[in-house]
Structure formats: C-alpha cells, structure tokens
Amino acid sequence: MRQTLQIVIALFPDVTHLDFTGPHQILCRLPGATVTVASLAGGEIEADGLVFARLPKLSDIQACDVLIVPGGFGTTAAMGDPDFISEIRRLADGAKYVCSVCTGSLVLGAAGLLKGKRAACHWAWRDQLALFGAIPDAARVARDGRYITGGGVTAGIDFALTMVAELAGDDVAQGIQLAVEYAPAPPFNSGRPELAPPKVLERISTLYGKAMDERVEAAKRAAERV
C-alpha cells in the first residue's frame, strides 16, 4: 500500500451529498489518509442544491487504495455513462477496497464488479442489485471480501466508521465517532420500511415509484453491457 492512504470518492451529477459528505467527514480524520473527491469532468457538481467546486477529474487520478461511489437520483444516468463506468472500473482494478453508499452499489454493479457479491443499497432500489448478479443485503453495512457497501444515505456514516476500523483499528474508529458525537437518537422510529407507519411507507414508495421504471430499465441495459 502507498505510504499515504489514498481514498477517492467518485461523484456524478445529481449525487446525494450526504452519501459522500457523511463518509468524508469521518474519513478525512483518518490519520495518514488523503481523501480526494473527484468527478468525470472535474470542476463543479451540484448535489441537492449545493455546489461542490474545484473537483479534479477522475482520469487525473492514477490509482487509489479505497474507491467509494455514492448514490443519488443521478445514479440512473451514471449507470449508462460509459466514460464514468470506465473510470470506476479502472480505479477499482487497483484498489484494495471497493465501496459504495446508497445506490452507488448499482453503479458498481453496472461496472461489472459485484457478480456473486453480497451488497447493500437503499431499501427502495436494493432488489435491482440482482440484475447485476449481486446478492442484495438488507444490512446497514455489508462486507464481501474487498467490497464494503453501505445502505441508504445516513448509512454512509456507519460505513465510514466500519472502513476506519478496517484500516486503522477499533480504537481509532471509536475515537472519531466520539469526536463527531455520532450517537444517533432519531425522533421517530421510521428509518426503515419495516418500521415506518404504513401510510408513510406508501407515500415515499409512491414518490420513488415515479423514477423506478426508468431506473430498472437503465439497470437492465447496464447489466446487458457487463
């Protein structure tokens, strides 16, 4: 492994910012690590109304130790972008760990990286992993060899702490958790579909359903190219 641990987070347009800012907040505190947030074109990326600027191009990054792909509504387009998928494959090829948060695992699947692998994803889109030959896992964080994947959005923080423990040990991970005061105590117990009130689940499922058919078709096309 390189003297400085190189962690790369690969962004695409319409990414969900907490998918990568959550893990970034944790991983940037990892001693000896450099975290680079990059995109295909470089420059600026808009995420949920926030603009992230001065990003390097993925093609300018020679290699990394850890590759992380977040998710978001832009996942549908990202799965079908051959240039973006090519960069993901290239960086994954030399990485010790290949990771994702939320629907970023669908991008890994579209890159042909998850065949026969157990992987996590946001609950609404998790079943689509099977289109790529992956094994959908409902866990908050799933591990299968060098692949470590987080579930939906906020699971990125759990994923990042798991990653720190893997790289530097439990004591370091616990210290970072304490430093950021990560002690979740949500006001509602509705963060998973099996826990949410039926009417809430129905409303959110309907909201996601508007984009579901489009993403399923995009996933099928991407799977055919793998």
Q: Is 102 a catalytic residue?
A: yes
What 3-state DSSP class applies to 136? Answer: strand
Sheet strand arrangement including 66-69: 33-39, 5-11, 66-69, 97-101, 147-150, 141-144
Cα atoms found within 13 Å of the Cα of residue 127, Cβ hemisphere only: 4
Q: Residue 48, by phi and psi: left (phi above 0), alpha (psi -120 to 50) or beta?
A: left
Please answer whether residues 132 and 166 qualify as being in contact, where contact means their C-beta atoms are separated by less than 8 angstroms.
Answer: no
- Which residue reads 């998790």 in tokens? 126
Phi-psi region of 187 (alpha: psi -120 to 50; beta: other; left: phi over 0): alpha
Using N-to-C axis directions, what is the helix angle for 17-27 and 155-168, rounded to 10°? 30
Q: Hunting for tokens 């000896």 — which residue is that?
A: 32
In the set 64, 99, 102, 121, the catalytic residue is: 102
Spell out a b/e string for 132-151, using b for 16 or more CB atoms within 10 Å of the CB, else e: bebebbeebbbbbeebbbbb
**Residues that are catalytic:** 102
